[in-house]
Amino acid sequence: MTASDIITIRGVCPHDCPDTCATLVDVRRADGQAIAFRGDPDHPITNGWLCAKVRPYLDRVYHPDRLLHPLRRVGPKGAGQWERISWDEALSAIAARWQAIIAEYGGAAILPYSYSGTLGLLQNVIAASRLMNRIGASGLERSICDAASNLALELTYGSKQSQDPRDVLHSKLIILWGHNPASTAPHFVPLLRAAQRKGAYVVVIDPRRTLTARSADEHIQPRPATDAALALGLMHVLFRDGLHNEAWLEEHTHGWRALRERAAEYPPQHVAAITSVPEETIVALARRWGTTTPALLKFADGVQRHGNGGQTVRALACLPAITGQVGVQGGGLAYSTSGYAAWDAAAIGHSDACPPTPRMVNMVRLGAALNGEVSDPPIKSLFVFNANPVASTPNSSLIIEGLLRDDLFTVVHELFLTDTARYADIVLPATSQLEQPDLHKAYGHRFLQYNAPAIAPRGEARSNWDTMRALAAAMGYTEPWLHQEPDEALREVLDASRANLPVLEGITLERLKAEGRVPLNFSAVPWVPFADFRFPTPSGKIELYSEQARTHGIDPLPCYTPPAEFSAQRDDTLVLLSGAAHHYVSSSLANIPKLMRLEGPPQIELNPSDAARFGICDGSDVRVENARGWCTLRAVVTTDVPPGVAVSPKGPWAQHSPDQRNVNWVTPDALADIAGQSTFHSNIVRVRPVASG
Ligand SMILES: Nc1nc2c(c(=O)[nH]1)N[C@H]1C(S)=C(S)[C@@H](COP(=O)(O)OP(=O)(O)OC[C@H]3O[C@@H](n4cnc5c(=O)[nH]c(N)nc54)[C@H](O)[C@@H]3O)O[C@H]1N2
Ligand SMILES: Nc1nc2c(c(=O)[nH]1)N[C@H]1C(S)=C(S)[C@@H](COP(=O)(O)OP(=O)(O)OC[C@H]3O[C@@H](n4cnc5c(=O)[nH]c(N)nc54)[C@H](O)[C@@H]3O)O[C@H]1N2
Ligand code: SF4
Ligand SMILES: [Mo]
């Protein structure tokens, strides 16, 4: 084959990952087949390499299990009996059912459920908004992942800004707090290593010895959900020993004296008792933080998924301010870059031309909502796309109970017959990223990228936006913004957003399509977050004390409260953390045989002392249970987890386990202290060998 027989198309990895890699797809001209998928060297952050999970991506695109045409359920719900139907039949069946539901109960009885299958502007954000707004369907409170952080940062800093990842090369001290980039943000790791080689000291704070912790200079293992106490303990020492930057605090923060009083309640000895981190470790870290500049605190999402997640993030967010590290290159707080290109909400949703959203349903409470928590009207139809709630949303058995309701009409738009799609009344086939156009921002760097479709849709698969357009037509809606071509819709949102956002100055859709990836424009916006010391909070300063926090139901000052679920802790219970698996992205990719082999069977890591007292051997099956349910996991006995803590990576599909369950059969659907945040990790379980019955 010669070079001219192959065409190379620029794209973007669509998965829920901060890196948002630039990709290249080689397509054979003769038959339009993609024959290679690789990283694009022409991207300064993602640098031409892909992570282990996405490298075999063509195995996903050409997976023999891809859904290639619509299906209608013919047997009982969940029984796996289907008949093939045409798109026209599927669309008219859905529209007819929705119109009947709207006539009897109103649009509120229809609930869309979508999250992070792709993160694109068109196939995720726009597709999730316009049609459902037009219907007047229930809104979805998107709180499964990062809601507490977003609100806590808004309360404290007024806006969400984060460094270019390369700024870490300036850091002298890096604390990675509840963050495992070796698995979850792989392109940050070479930068971290380079900073370390230049002499930066890296501290990982995580109950588990993660891949990231192994190569840190120091690993601190607090008890789960005690991080707010640890942060306040560090502040205690900083204030006590005069390591705070008083002039800076006076000028740029609100309420530092009140915070000092609060921190006075957290002496190291007390904090050591709460966190199990030795007193001298707390004092040494505080001194290091207080005497090193630039000092960076980088956190991610895991640490907020506890009952006290909001106050935990508030406490972390205060630390860089105490020593005046905000606005310093290589210092400050790093979380997410997604706030810069804040897409224009009106252009996305056209809600001014739609009925008001009748109510919001919290996605974390899906099971409860389907089982009566939401009534008047009850949910009569669920439309799932870009998400796999049975595998990825807490308290899965309650969700299944809801999905089995005879009077619930469930439509799932998917690439595969996932644990959720199995319970649908109608399944619609979805395109993969290689088959659809989109525009992506990233949450781990500051580039915009265009994904050009590389191959034709497989079978009869349709993209989310094409499906929404077809459903809008079937419903009889004629508004032009429900029927735009993909580029038109993208251009509308990009142009409207640019009108208010200097970082989009000079960035047009044409330029994105021509260049593939374009850096956000920092000529009129500080490159280093908050280097202009403008904080859009009520006081115009960093709000260490936040009066607004009160309106969200929490103390205006950061504090430590154990999660409510922890009252169920007994001598014979463990706290089960279920963060990211190395080879999957949530449940996406967890059906690729190569990756399933690398990841191994669904596991639970147990400390040798816990394994011994519960009679569990390495490699044996363990029954994990609590009042919500149970699942079976394979024991990995390891000192990577401390006594009292167990770890089971999220992602495996229930249908691949002999017991047809996964870890979310036991995770809590309780909400955290703010923003309706999920609390996956505040999970108290019992474990026992399966053999004991
Ligand atoms: N390989 C891979 N990458 C992913 C994902 C994936 O599933 N797999 N998921 C993507 C998504 S959706 C997200 S939101 C991000 C998440 O990115 P991260 O937040 O980096 O990942 P998590 O594994 O969820 O959580 C990080 C760490 O928090 C720790 N942790 C849990 N409870 C506590 C606590 O109380 N205190 C402290 N200090 N640490 C705690 C866990 O042990 C875990 O190692 O990653 C994205 N990237
Ligand atoms: N136990 C535990 N569970 C967790 C977490 C945890 O820490 N612990 N973390 C939570 C977090 S952070 C998150 S973000 C959620 C993620 O939860 P979800 O958003 O439900 O993510 P996935 O489980 O990966 O399911 C995404 C589905 O979208 C499909 N998909 C991909 N692209 C497209 C497309 O273009 N169109 C359509 N229609 N479908 C598409 C994929 O095939 C996949 O089945 O999981 C949460 N679940
Ligand atoms: S999952 Fe993340 S690291 Fe892997 S290819 Fe996609 S964006 Fe890159
Ligand atoms: Mo997430």
Same-domain pairing of 538 and 626: no
Mean pLDDT of 34-54: 98
Residue 4 binned pLDDT confidence (cut-offs 50, 70, 90): confident
pLDDT tens by residue, 655-683: 999 999 999 999 999 999 999 999 999 99
Is the whole model's pTM more than 0.95, yes or no? Answer: yes
Same-domain pairing of 451 and 586: no
pLDDT for res 469: 98
Mean pLDDT of 448-458: 98
d(CA 501, CA 525): 9
d(CA 491, CA 499): 12
β-sheet bridge partners, residue 200: none
Residue 2 binned pLDDT confidence (cut-offs 50, 70, 90): confident
112, 145, 649: which is closest to 393 by C-alpha?
Answer: 145
With a cut of 70, say whether residue 693 has pLDDT above it.
Answer: no
Separation of CA 357 from chain center = 24
- Residue 294: is the preceding peptide bond cis (ω within 30°)? yes
Check: CB of residue 556 under 8 Å from CB of residue 549: yes
217, 190, 231, 213: which is closest to 47 by C-alpha?
Answer: 190
For residue 654, give the ligand nearest its CA: 2
User: What mean pLDDT value characterizes the chain?
Assistant: 98
Same-domain pairing of 355 and 479: yes
Q: How far is the CA of 410 from the centre of ligand 4 (A)?
A: 24
- Label residue 104 exposed, middle or buried (CB < 10 Å: 0-12, 13-18, 19+): exposed
Asked if residue 599 belongs to a domain, the reply is yes
Tell me the residue ranges of DSSP E strands in 130-217. 139-141, 173-177, 201-205
Q: How far is the CA of 341 from the centre of ligand 2 (A)?
A: 23
Mean pLDDT of 52-71: 98
Asked if residue 103 belongs to a domain, the reply is yes
DSSP for 199-251 reads T-EEEEE-SS--HHHHTSSEEE-PPTT-HHHHHHHHHHHHHHTT-S-HHHHHH
Q: How far is the CA of 314 from the centre of ligand 4 (A)?
A: 19
Domain range enclosing 355: 71-145+341-519
pLDDT tens by residue, 500-557: 999 999 999 999 999 999 999 999 999 999 999 999 999 999 999 999 999 999 999 9
Answer yes or no: is the C-beta of 173 below 6 A from any ligand 1 atom.
no
With a cut of 60, say whether residue 692 has pLDDT above it.
Answer: no
- For residues 190, 194, 196 and 197, what is the CA-based torsion angle, rounded to 10 degrees? 130
Residue 98 binned pLDDT confidence (cut-offs 50, 70, 90): very high
Number of domains in the chain: 3
pLDDT for res 1: 72
Mean pLDDT of 49-68: 98
Mean pLDDT of 619-627: 98
Q: How far is the CA of 277 from the centre of ligand 2 (A)?
A: 34
B/e letters for 249-258, b = 16+ CB within 10 Å, e = fewer, are beebbbbbee
Measured CA angle at 288 (ends 541, 445), to 5 deg: 55
Answer yes or no: is the C-beta of 301 below 6 A from any ligand 1 atom.
yes
pLDDT tens by residue, 100-140: 999 999 999 999 999 999 999 999 999 999 999 999 999 99
Asked if residue 498 belongs to a domain, the reply is yes
Ligand 2 atom nearest residue 586's Cα: 24
pLDDT for res 283: 99
Query: Cα dist. 479→41, 52, 129, 237 in Å?
Result: 42, 43, 14, 61
With a cut of 90, say whether residue 445 has pLDDT above it.
Answer: yes
For the domain that residue 612 is a member of, what is the CATH number? 2.40.40.20
Asked if residue 22 belongs to a domain, the reply is no
- For residues 673, 678, 680 and 686, what is the CA-based torsion angle, rounded to 10 degrees? 60
Ligand 2 atom nearest residue 421's Cα: 44
Same-domain pairing of 316 and 445: no
Asked if residue 398 belongs to a domain, the reply is yes
Laid out side by side, the sheet with 218-220 consists of: 218-220, 201-205, 173-177, 295-299, 332-334
Asked if residue 11 belongs to a domain, the reply is no
pLDDT for res 691: 76
Residue 318 binned pLDDT confidence (cut-offs 50, 70, 90): very high
Q: Extract the tokens encoding 574.
A: 């463990």
